[in-house]
Structure 1
Amino acid sequence: MHFSPEAAMTKATATDSSPQSAESPPSEVEQFAAVAAPIWPAYVIAASICLWLAWRTLPPAYLAGWAAVYAVFMSSRGLIFRHYHSLTHLERIAGEPLWKRRFTLVMLVYGVLQSLLIAVAIPWLPLGSNFLMTWLIFFSCVLVTTVMPLSDVNLRVYIGVTLVPTSVAWLFVQMDYSWLISLGLVAAVAVFLKGGRARLASMGQTWRLATQLAESNALLRRSNVSRTRMVMEASHDLRQPAHALGMMVERLRHATPGPDFEARVGDIESGIFSLSDMLNELMEFSRLDLGEYVPRLEPVNLALMLQEIDRRFFAVAQHKGLAWSVRSLPVWVDSDPWLLRRVINNLVSNALKYTSAGGVEIGCIREGDEVTVFVEDTGPGIAPEHHARVFIEYVRLHNSEADEKGMGIGLAFARRATDALGHHLRLKSAIGKGTRMSVGMHLRAPPAGLPVASPDGKGATTPVLAGRLVLLLENDPMLRKSMGEVLASWEMKVQAFGSVEALDASLRLSGATVPDIILVDLHLDGDANGLQAVARIRAYFGSTSDGHHDGRLQALPIPAILLTGDLSPGIEEQASAMQARVAYKPLRPSRLKSMVGEEIAKATGLRCDDALIRRPGTGFKA
């Protein structure tokens, strides 16, 4: 795949930052500035009215000095707001605390200037002028409280330096009951503060909701861009193994039995596995990316999981001539076994892919209540400036050894999976010094009552598939035939049906036998559903013992595996509610064999781990 990390990084950066910057709602300071900046004419008109009312009462020199100071204030205020509006959104957000203090100071100076004119003039003015000036102060407080509250401090400062001096000034007015007006203004202080705080709380809630909406929109946009890139990359990458398979099949047409024939069959099998791995990787990343997979934490035997890793990758390391070491500890962790297995698989696969000489080591380190699984290789290493980029989907660093396979989403999946699990994914690497990837997890005590198989498999009972009856329900004739042949090659007895109607007809026949396991496709012909078929089969065999079957009543439901390529949310929950297991297509035969053995073992009480149905692992050291 010829994919530019630089282009991907540019796309990712633009996708991550631009939408957020464009869509994020204005902050409290930005809202204040948007409302307060354009109303400067109201400030000038109010000041002009106050000067006109006080012109014949206060000394002209005092009024001229006040007007000059007020003019300087308005000019400075204009420059401050102009500078603020010249900043970018990110610059405003970064300097928000500073700008909040500056605007609070602006309101303080404005309130003091109002008081120096109105509070000083009120005791000497006629009653009509007093009421008009008081109304101007009252209106300005209403404006600050309802339209442009900035902060609780701003409210207290402005209302305190305007209403309180005005209230005191009314005590000196030569008028009966002027003290009632003074008292009313003091009460107005409490009312304005309460109303302003309620307004601030409402604006804060609105801003938080708007922020969440903006973040959701940005996430949706990133997801759409990511999905588009996924389709583009997948269409390219998946064509390669498909094209190779076509060429291999054409070569096979003209091959004769012998070593060369077997080698070509092996090449086809390798191509199929490569195609299957890519599809699985895409499916798993999509489910995690869309939030359709909710991690289920449970006790995980780390030794057995690493044994499985050893069995899966030992042959790959041996084929490349690499040293291979797996060292484990008899510990349990809290994790989602499916996600954790995929994470470690991805780390080991990357290590083997990028290492051409030397070896790969997998091990465990216990520190207090945490255990760390590490994967260390002697590959080319990753430069420090590229450490963050390797976790971006579809980004692959240029490396000739690794350019043949993969889609560049393995480490991105590992990052998202470990974040979802609450684990710690760490990277340590340098050019020429190899790479060490590690996952830190919390330890837990072994669960009580569970049979524990030793890491090397000794002392465990191997479930016998030979002679077991499997009921297969698959509407695709080619897939039904091939699956039936694979199951038969495991010496299992197979009853295969293409429809629910054919199954019903068979069940009505005398001598029908309880199957040991049910394999069923989710989407059957018509409106038929695989889960409904499982319920019908279980109901039939568990309802009576009247001779229509062998008379066994199951303590547990008949084991069932639901085969599907459908990634719709809710399928796993529905299957889990029916105690059925979900297996996503494409599925390797070895994995299907393992799952069949596990489900039969659970139903019959045999002790089993995933490896015991396959060949014993080699190179594993507990």
Structure 2
Amino acid sequence: MPPAPPSASTDARVLREQVAALYATMPASTAIDVLLAWGLCALLYWQTRNAGILVWLGLHFIQVLRYPLIHAYFRDPQAAERSAFWARRHWRELLYYSITWGLAPWLFLPADSLPLTALMMLTMLGLCSGGVPSVAPRWPSVLAFVVPMTVGLITALAWRADTIHLFLAACAVLHVGATLHFAHAQHRLLTTALTTRFEKEALADALAHQVQITQQASEEKTRFFAAASHDLRQPLHAIALFGVVLERELQGHASQPHAQRLMRAVNALSGSLDTMLDVSQLDAGVVPAQPQAVPLRSVLLAVQALAATRAEARALQLRVRTTPLWVRTDPQLLQRLLANLVENAIKYTPTGGVLVLARARGAEVWLDVVDTGVGIAPEHHERVFQEFYQVHNPGRDRAQGLGIGLSIVRRLSRLLDHPVALHSRPGRGSRFRVRLPLAQAPAQLPTPAAAPAGALAAATLPRHVLLLDDEADITDALAAFLRGEGIATASARDEHEAMQQLERATAAGQPFDALLCDYRLADGADGLDAALRLQAHAGNTPGLLLITGETAPERLQRVHDSGVPVLFKPVQPERLLQALAELSTTSAGPAPSPR
């Protein structure tokens, strides 16, 4: 397949470099030419006293005017853009120069001295051969430099018509032919090198541009998902809380099953949003890995407990082979990674089962999740780790999830530095292999401290809570839920109103025990800063809990850095009560400085 022709921009850059090379060699070549010409003329005039030499020297002296031409090129600020103009000027100058040398044999070729004739011939042919490399970048310049000069020499020799001069003319023809051949080869080599160089630079620029476009698209996708997730979480948070209140009030009523179905649907949607939140948190870098020596048995048993019900519901066998091996990893993150792999295997295995096993291989442990499912064709092996890509779900069946599970696996594997490899055959099942560093079991295993019985149950919920959220539906839902738990509430739409509520409660001798605040308030107000100021104004007495639907990586990072406890909407009622209980049992410390 022939190479594609260079683009117009590449041709322009090649011409610019060619012209620059031509003018770069002109000062030195002009000085050498003047010394050679005047030395030759002095010798010939001393020997022949031919007046034609003086005439020719007058014509040749004009070559000294090359220097102003050279300076004009280098002083031209638009020289690069006007390369074609300067190429024509250089060609015309070379043509005059070559014609001048071509006239020399006609004006003063020694007819009666063969040594002087040979000296003049060798000088001109040597000048022709020696000067070709300096003009080779441009083929028109090569022709302008070589042809007039050598044609003048050859015709002057042939004009003498004797055997010696005809032989010398034939030799000059052969020399010129060889010179032009090698000059053309050198010109093609230089042009090809420049063209290849600029095409590679253009390809690199295009690749960098595509990388930038891809990065921008990724950033825009992240911002879109963060905004969409936030807008979905806000009403879902209120629905979940109102649903709990409704389920409580309909207890024992004929409509209670409807409320239960409503909560199952809400929990399913909440699970999908939480999966998207996992992606945002991993992208934001707010999930730190804390590697340590971990018994793999405990992780495998935890994953088995999580996945057993799901496998049983699909009539699949879930076999987990425990092992005494220890690995160096973060146990919570490894459990999430392995749970996602097992969940994915169960989802795409219609019959048969899923096997999880670990084996030591040198300094590593290979942890395999093997299924007898539908399998994955080789062309999809990389794409299944992308967000929302599902090979066997073209209709986007919600029962098969969002297609984010393996994307989270890839992110966790990079965070933990546990490479994940896929081997699969369509119709025969798949095997996902996680490679973990082997660790030595400690000589004496630590004895876990027993948690005091009923510690959480004995925790006291706050009695008086201030809700700061600009959406009335959410504050109404929170208030209705908390009142059902015996917690008095007051709500505010902005920081100013919250400050008034805080001062009134303090003056009435009923200070707030806790402050629940949304991250994003009306008119772009920062809920974290507002909550910290309110807490500081109250003397750090109320515990602070941030509730947000934000999933933007930079905001997740900021919340993480603040050290303020945070729950993500929609909040499970049990988790909310647990967080409030933890607030009430934690002594208030100095509040972080608002940012």
Kindly state the Cα deviation for residue 522 of structure 1 after the two structures are TM-superposed: 0.6
Do residues 414 (structure 1) and 409 (structure 2) align?
yes
Deviation digits for residues 80-130 of structure 1, max 9, x if unmatched? x6xxxxxxxxxxxxxxxxxxxxx47x99xxxxxxxxxxxxxxxxxxxxxxx
Aligned to 1:407, the other structure's residue is in SS state coil
Do residues 323 (structure 1) and 321 (structure 2) align?
no
**551, 555, 560: which one pairs with 1:567?**
551
Deviation digits for residues 138-180 of structure 1, max 9, x if unmatched? xxxxxx9xxx5999xxxxxxxxxxxxxxxxxxxxxxxxxxxxx
Alignment of 1:74-113 (within 5 A): 103=189
Kindly state the Cα deviation for residue 272 of structure 1 after the two structures are TM-superposed: 2.0
Contact 2:345 2:373 in 1 (8 A): yes
> Take 2:417 and 2:11, find their aligned partners in 1: how far apart are those partners?
36
Alignment of 1:399-548 (within 5 A): 403=397, 404-419=399-414, 421-442=416-437, 453=448, 463-464=455-456, 466-469=459-462, 472-484=467-479, 493=487, 495-499=489-493, 500=495, 501-502=497-498, 503-512=501-510, 515=513, 518-525=515-522, 528-540=525-537, 542=539
Kindly state the Cα deviation for residue 476 of structure 1 after the two structures are TM-superposed: 2.9
Contact 1:28 1:150 in 2 (8 A): no
Aligned to 2:502, the other structure's residue is in SS state helix
Could you tell me which runs of 5 or more consecutive residues in structure 2 were left unpaired when the two chains were aligned: 19-135, 158-166, 589-595
Whichever of the two has the greater Rg, that structure is: 2
> Take 1:306 and 1:599, find their aligned partners in 2: how far apart are those partners?
33
Deviation digits for residues 545-593 of structure 1, max 9, x if unmatched? xxxx7xxxxxxxx764422223344323332332114443334445556
Kindly state the Cα deviation for residue 426 of structure 1 after the two structures are TM-superposed: 1.5
> Take 1:591 and 1:521, find their aligned partners in 2: how far apart are those partners?
16
Aligned to 1:60: 169
Aligned to 2:30: none
Could you tell me which runs of 5 or more consecutive residues in structure 1 were left unpaired when the two chains were aligned: 1-21, 82-102, 108-143, 152-199, 544-548, 550-557, 605-622
Do residues 39 (structure 1) and 138 (structure 2) align?
yes
Aligned partner letter, 1:430: R
Alignment of 1:220-299 (within 5 A): 220=215, 223=218, 264-285=258-279, 292-293=284-285, 296-299=288-291
Kindly state the Cα deviation for residue 210 of structure 1 after the two structures are TM-superposed: 4.0
> Take 2:305 and 2:378, find their aligned partners in 1: how far apart are those partners?
32
Aligned to 1:566, the other structure's residue is in SS state coil
Go from structure 1 to structure 2 and tell me whether the alpha carbon gap of 1:352 and 1:452 turns closer, same or farther (over 3 Å shift): farther
TM-score with structure 2 setting the length: 0.55
Contact 1:453 1:460 in 2 (8 A): no
Kindly state the Cα deviation for residue 279 of structure 1 after the two structures are TM-superposed: 3.1
Aligned partner letter, 1:586: P
Do residues 381 (structure 1) and 480 (structure 2) align?
no
Aligned to 2:460, the other structure's residue is in SS state coil
Deviation digits for residues 17-75 of structure 1, max 9, x if unmatched? xxxxx9xx999999769956993323333333664687679943443223323444566
Aligned partner letter, 1:44: L
Contact 2:327 2:436 in 1 (8 A): no
Aligned partner letter, 2:266: I
Contact 1:353 1:401 in 2 (8 A): no
Aligned to 1:298, the other structure's residue is in SS state coil
Go from structure 1 to structure 2 and tell me whether the alpha carbon gap of 1:75 and 1:526 turns closer, same or farther (over 3 Å shift): closer
Contact 1:364 1:373 in 2 (8 A): yes
Aligned partner letter, 1:347: L
Do residues 579 (structure 1) and 574 (structure 2) align?
no
Aligned to 1:440, the other structure's residue is in SS state strand
Aligned partner letter, 1:532: D
Contact 2:420 2:435 in 1 (8 A): yes
> Take 1:369 and 1:572, find their aligned partners in 2: how far apart are those partners?
36
Kindly state the Cα deviation for residue 305 of structure 1 after the two structures are TM-superposed: 6.1
Contact 1:360 1:377 in 2 (8 A): yes
Aligned to 1:570, the other structure's residue is in SS state helix
Go from structure 1 to structure 2 and tell me whether the alpha carbon gap of 1:273 and 1:257 turns closer, same or farther (over 3 Å shift): closer
**330, 333, 340: which one pairs with 1:346?**
340
Aligned to 2:138, the other structure's residue is in SS state helix
Alignment of 1:169-248 (within 5 A): 210=205, 213-220=208-215, 223=218
> Take 1:414 and 1:559, find their aligned partners in 2: how far apart are those partners?
35
> Take 1:316 and 1:210, find their aligned partners in 2: how far apart are those partners?
51
Go from structure 1 to structure 2 and tell me whether the alpha carbon gap of 1:341 and 1:542 turns closer, same or farther (over 3 Å shift): farther
> Take 2:448 and 2:315, find their aligned partners in 1: how far apart are those partners?
31
Aligned to 1:69: 178
Aligned partner letter, 2:502: D
Contact 2:280 2:553 in 1 (8 A): no
Instruction: State the Cα RMSD in Å.
Output: 5.6
TM-score with structure 1 setting the length: 0.53
Aligned to 2:551, the other structure's residue is in SS state coil
Aligned to 2:370, the other structure's residue is in SS state strand
> Take 1:226 and 1:406, find their aligned partners in 2: how far apart are those partners?
20
Kindly state the Cα deviation for residue 504 of structure 1 after the two structures are TM-superposed: 1.9
Go from structure 1 to structure 2 and tell me whether the alpha carbon gap of 1:309 and 1:540 turns closer, same or farther (over 3 Å shift): farther
> Take 1:45 and 1:512, find their aligned partners in 2: how far apart are those partners?
102
> Take 2:267 and 2:207, find their aligned partners in 1: how far apart are those partners?
42
> Take 2:10 and 2:330, find their aligned partners in 1: how far apart are those partners?
42
Aligned partner letter, 2:435: G
Contact 1:522 1:564 in 2 (8 A): yes
Aligned partner letter, 1:504: L
Contact 1:476 1:498 in 2 (8 A): no
Aligned to 2:507, the other structure's residue is in SS state coil
> Take 2:580 and 2:555, find their aligned partners in 1: how far apart are those partners?
20
Aligned partner letter, 2:343: S
Aligned partner letter, 2:548: T
